[in-house]
Amino acid sequence: MNKMEHSIWEDYRNKKTFPSIDKDYKTDVLIIGGGIAGILCAYELKKRNIDYILVDKNYVGSGISKNTTAFISFIHDFSYYEMISKLGINKAKEYIDLCKAAMKKYEELALLYDFDYEKKDLYLYSMDEDKIINEKIALELLKVNVSYVNKLEVDDSFNKAIKIKDQAIINPLKLIDALANELNIFEHSNVSKVYDNEAICNNHIISFNHVIMASNYPLVNKKGLYFMKLRQKRSYVVAINKQINQLYINIDDDGLYYRPYKEYMIVGGNDRLTNKKCENNFYLQMKEKYKGEEIKYYWSNQDCISLDQIPYIGRFNNAHNNWYVTTGYNLYGFTFAMSSSRILADMIEGKLEENPYLLTPARSILHKKLISSLAITISNLFSLKVNRCTHMGCALKYNEIDDTFECPCHGSRYDKNGKLLNGPAQKDLEIK
């Protein structure tokens, strides 16, 4: 499926090109990664007159940000009912307040830049009435205005649905391109090694006082145990020539999500952890479901998920006071990319000694999902298959639907010729 992948956002780019690192540099803050998280961090540092440079191994907006569906919302890929049951009302309130603050920032940015920001209502629905009733109760406890509805423009197969007002949609690449214009960026600048206060980039040395790892899967991932703290999830998306007006998420297993953009209906689904076999060809499923409609774009995305489904934003690890990370967005990255720009800038300025929020990467990794991830890693490290991942050597599996080699351990992907598509691996595969 990857041969023709092309996200809708790529047709609306107005991108400037940036130079590459071709000599040694000194900077206060080095940002690694030119997706939305890196760009927003750079934008925030610039506003605060802090010296920085941002480097991207490809070009800005070339990774996960170009493949997102860019909901700006506090509704993410989990249930607030479950979050309150597991973590308590205060933590859930802290989470939703962070999201609301980030959403307000996007609204403010939309007054300055054109990135097709539009407020929309979001509808959650399910065949399981209890799920929706419980979610409504949880959201109301968090002071969100929620109402039941009995009709949806995209789907009739549901037993209960709720409406949540004032969420938003944007064009992610229009935003990245608008902000990047004013920033100090180097493209095609590959960081190969990070030391305490230096990074090697295109064989040159960048000396820094602080470094922010904003490259989705952190470039340095063995230190800080990020390869144990993160799993990856894939999702598949199409854009169909069909007008809809609002946002919809079916919260049942294998449920679809919908968002409008111009004359298109964007439909996503077939979400799966990368250690699970790809069973369905989403594109063919959508062709069947929307017979007679034109599918203009299809693409897929892959994002990091933390063990507890809450992002890691803050100090990278205890050993490096000047290293910071932002990752684990669980396919809903835009909200927390915005939060991380403020939190990390505050930490760099010394206004925030340690991230006090529930986002800190220093929180415990003792979680039942860690046990299952470790079991998968061990069994694939000792499997006898010939093609081995260039990250830590796990046996690769071939995905015949996408025509890719996939690593069940931490989610690296390679095309059929061995070219690296997704990290944490950094090197191509030599196919045997």
Rounded to a whole number of angstroms, the minimum distance from the CB of residue 300 to ligand FES is 17
Site for ligand FES contains 412 (CB under 6 A): yes
Kindly indicate which of the ranges 56-64, 190-198, 353-361, 407-415 contains the residues binding ligand FES, using the contact rule CB under 6 A: 407-415
Strand-pair partners of 422: 413
Kindly indicate which of the ranges 43-51, 80-88, 251-259, 385-393 contains the residues binding ligand FES, using the contact rule CB under 6 A: 385-393
CB 338 within 8 A of CB 108: no
Query: Binding ligand FES by CB under 6 A: which of 394, 397, 399, 414?
Result: 394
Quick one: DSSP state of residue 388? B
Rounded to a whole number of angstroms, the minimum distance from the CB of residue 177 to ligand FES is 31
Site for ligand FES contains 425 (CB under 6 A): yes
Site for ligand FES contains 392 (CB under 6 A): yes
Site for ligand FES contains 410 (CB under 6 A): yes
The residue (of 131 and 410) whose beta carbon lies closer to ligand FES is: 410
The residue (of 185 and 407) whose beta carbon lies closer to ligand FES is: 407
**Within the chain, what is the greatest distance between any pair of CA atoms?**
62
With a CB cutoff of 8 Å and minimum separation 6, the contacts of 91 are 83, 358
Shortest CA distance to 203 belongs to which of 19, 21, 427?
21
For the chain, the 3-state helix, strand and coil shares in percent, each to the nearest 5, are 30, 30, 40
DSSP letter string, 128-161: -HHHHHHHHHHHHHTT--EEEES--SS----SEE
Kindly indicate which of the ranges 7-15, 140-148, 324-332, 405-413 contains the residues binding ligand FES, using the contact rule CB under 6 A: 405-413
Rounded to a whole number of angstroms, the minimum distance from the CB of residue 405 to ligand FES is 10
Measured distance CA(269)–CA(300) in Å, rounded: 10
Kindly indicate which of the ranges 165-173, 294-302, 351-359, 386-394 contains the residues binding ligand FES, using the contact rule CB under 6 A: 386-394
Kindly indicate which of the ranges 66-74, 129-137, 172-180, 410-418 contains the residues binding ligand FES, using the contact rule CB under 6 A: 410-418
Measured distance CA(88)–CA(375) in Å, rounded: 30
Strand-pair partners of 233: 273, 303
Cα dist. 86→82, 336, 372, 408 in Å? 6, 21, 19, 28
SS3 state at 249: strand
Site for ligand FES contains 424 (CB under 6 A): yes
Q: Where are the beta strands (DSSP E) in 47-159?
A: 52-55, 71-72, 118-126, 146-149
Kindly indicate which of the ranges 71-79, 103-111, 132-140, 389-397 contains the residues binding ligand FES, using the contact rule CB under 6 A: 389-397
Site for ligand FES contains 92 (CB under 6 A): no
Strand-pair partners of 420: 414
Packed helices 80-87 and 129-141: angle between N→C axes, nearest 10 degrees: 60
Site for ligand FES contains 231 (CB under 6 A): no
Measured distance CA(278)–CA(401) in Å, rounded: 7
What would the x/- binding string for ligand FES be over residues 276 to 305, using CB under 6 A? ------------------------------
The residue (of 67 and 412) whose beta carbon lies closer to ligand FES is: 412
Rounded to a whole number of angstroms, the minimum distance from the CB of residue 312 to ligand FES is 18
The residue (of 238 and 409) whose beta carbon lies closer to ligand FES is: 409
Count interface residues toward ligand FES (CB under 6 A).
11
Rounded to a whole number of angstroms, the minimum distance from the CB of residue 392 to ligand FES is 4
Site for ligand FES contains 161 (CB under 6 A): no
The residue (of 110 and 395) whose beta carbon lies closer to ligand FES is: 395
Kindly indicate which of the ranges 11-19, 84-92, 281-289, 408-416 contains the residues binding ligand FES, using the contact rule CB under 6 A: 408-416
Residue 219, burial from CB neighbour count under 10 angstroms (0-12, 13-18, 19+): buried
Query: Binding ligand FES by CB under 6 A: which of 409, 414, 429, 431?
Result: 409
Measured distance CA(10)–CA(126) in Å, rounded: 32
Task: Give the tokens for residue 127.
Answer: 């065949």
How many CB atoms neighbour CB 18 within 10 A? 20
Rounded to a whole number of angstroms, the minimum distance from the CB of residue 376 to ligand FES is 10
What would the x/- binding string for ligand FES be over residues 336 to 375, using CB under 6 A? ----------------------------------------
Shortest CA distance to 260 belongs to which of 62, 114, 100, 122?
122
Kindly indicate which of the ranges 28-36, 143-151, 345-353, 403-411 contains the residues binding ligand FES, using the contact rule CB under 6 A: 403-411
Residues making contact with ligand FES (CB under 6 A): 389, 391-392, 394, 407, 409-412, 424-425
